[in-house]
Structure 1
């Protein structure tokens, strides 16, 4: 699969149930991106917040995420409270620059290409970073996360496979086709826009079927 490096692509999950706000980035990285950022469209009226950007080896911004709804806490629901405790409703939109394989800025090597599979993998790992199975011992979380990350990678490399369905959602007001899948932890989708970027999204407690995406007009307003 042509995609960005899997190492350090997402912020590691905060431990001990600390809110994700503690590891959010500032707007500076978003402002350096040479591509437009996407979020949910104006039909969504809830809270919006920056997550983080990912960079290539030469420091160029390649992708980043914007959160919507309740800022999720990283916790095991069964440890944090009862099995019926609400987990929060949120959706995160991942924007990935549509880059072909290209030389690094210093000319010493090639940077990997990005594709819709890149967006699918980043979204899948993003969802995993906020959840682990109920009643799992905390010491086993790293092993579980590594295993599930590899599974997310394999699924993203097979977007035409049986694990994925097709979902049509508006992007800048125009219907677009997305690859979509659900799991016990939430949902993940990925597609490509006419603006030259790939979109991924993930969430839980908020249905993906009623969502729409649009270019963020002023990313600095999120700071």
Structure 2
């Protein structure tokens, strides 16, 4: 395992909550994204990837990006309203909306319109990011439908939405964590999620 992969796995091993990925029905490549941590180093969330690793590099043309098939599963630690690490304020409680926001912003990060002028891309990203936040904050609104998918073999209800860039879903697992996902080229309707028994298998 290369050193950069070991560093990534180490971040996941520091978490005090279980990580989720696609269940054993998925037999393709698995990989890790970076974990997110609070100011005091506590791991708060992370994401596991499945299928093709999405790329925005210039050598990957728009047509190739359209052919990419991937699903990324986001796990967010369940946290109550709490003091910030420096004691100067409060951190919001996490919820399925937190998972929806991370999934929505994750999808945006790998779907920038390649034909758009560079000067306009940041405006586009800012606009789409604001929209993703508004949608995540209103999971019961008209922008979402409901989708039942298995989590460790037990049906669970997720909030689900599609766009021209891909799909996003979010819900809560039974062990107190929140699970989101985003993807493109792979249908969300046939997915199942499960606790990852060995996170190093995603190296």
Q: TM-score, normalised by structure 1?
A: 0.83
Measured on the aligned residues, the alpha-carbon RMSD in Å equals 2.2
Structure 2 Cα separation of the partners of residues 74 and 134 of structure 1: 8
Shift of 1:116: 0.5
Q: 1:200 to 1:112 in 2, by over 3 A?
A: same
Shift of 1:221: 2.6
CA deviations on 1:21-62 (whole Å, 9 max, x unpaired) are x99961111011100000000000000001111111222111
Pick from 105, 111, 115: which aligns with 1:125?
105
Residue aligning to 2:124: 144
Q: What secondary structure is seen at the aligned counterpart in 1 of 2:8? A: coil
Pick from 167, 190, 207: which aligns with 2:170?
190
Question: Contact conserved, 2:152 with 2:193, CA < 8 A, in 1?
Answer: yes
Shift of 1:162: 1.0
Residue aligning to 1:43: 25
Structure 1 Cα separation of the partners of residues 185 and 5 of structure 2: 22
Q: TM-score, normalised by structure 2?
A: 0.91
Matched, 1:94 2:69: no
Pick from 39, 52, 55: which aligns with 1:73?
55
CA deviations on 1:166-215 (whole Å, 9 max, x unpaired) are 00000000000000000000000000010110000000000000000000
Question: Contact conserved, 2:8 with 2:35, CA < 8 A, in 1?
Answer: no
